[in-house]
Amino acid sequence: MRRLLFSAIATLGMTTALQAQDRPNLLAAPYLEAMTWTEIRDAIQGGKRVAIVPTGGTEQNGPHMVMGKHNYIVTFAAGQIAQQLGNALVAPTVQYVPEGDYNRPNFGDKPGVISLPSPSYDRLLDAAVRSLRVHGFTDILLIGDSGGNQAGLTAVANALNAEWAGTGVRVYALVDYYQKGRIQIRDYLKATYGWDEQMVGSHAGTSDTSQLLYVFADGIRLDKRMPNGGSPDAGVTGDPTKATAAIGKIAIDQKVNAALAQYRTLKGGTP
């Protein structure tokens, strides 16, 4: 997955591109797993005391889009958040998240989905955050690219903030990244193109496909894009044929801005 994420840097041909220097470099800081421990130590000592923990997912996204959609998108977005903050590093993306009950009879209908329901998901986040605190991070930001991730982000942040009250360390569940971000892109598409929610879809449709086109175009099978996936059981809602990388950039910018605004508000600053 990480090697494929690195290749996203080369997929600018289909985008209304930012300048190269404005895009996160997945091969280097601020991504912790691309840094040595001494580089991380020096960065923390130099003032980078904000850590971002992105959560993605491994789920089906119809016949036209790869299972790691959320991981590619949220890793990229976390890098943009770090760049804008200027004092942040990005922890490895959590790829196992709640994707439903793997004991239900139809869970195996679309192979490849991996679910980590709560409380296991919450415990994983808890352990990651505790690890980051020990190393000197004082603000730990949790973001999630999928609806099933949000409750765990909030539960872990609330529990640790109660435990660590008065220590100077705080955990932020930035659920606006997902909750406000998805509403804003739907509103934009409605206002700009007249596409309603049914047209855009809620899973693997216009917005999701656009975001992956912008971040990692190789993750889209262009010849397999069909409205609603082409069949009732394809795992797609909405029309991915309307997706563009330009729409994807707007959607990711909206999510990043929503997360930053919530963080600043929770810290007591100006959104």
Distances (CA, A) of 186 to 42, 119, 183, 205: 42, 32, 5, 11
pLDDT, tens only, 12-58? 334 334 444 467 788 888 999 999 999 999 999 999 999 999 999 99
Domains (range + CATH), the chain: 2-266 (3.40.50.10310)
Q: Which residues pair with 139 in a beta bridge?
A: 50, 170
For position 79, what pLDDT does the model report?
A: 97
pLDDT, tens only, 248-269? 999 999 999 999 999 999 998 6
Q: Is it the case that residue 8 has pLDDT exceeding 70?
A: no
Q: Mean pLDDT, the chain, as a whole number?
A: 92
Q: Is it the case that residue 106 has pLDDT exceeding 90?
A: no
9: Cα separation from own chain's centroid? 17
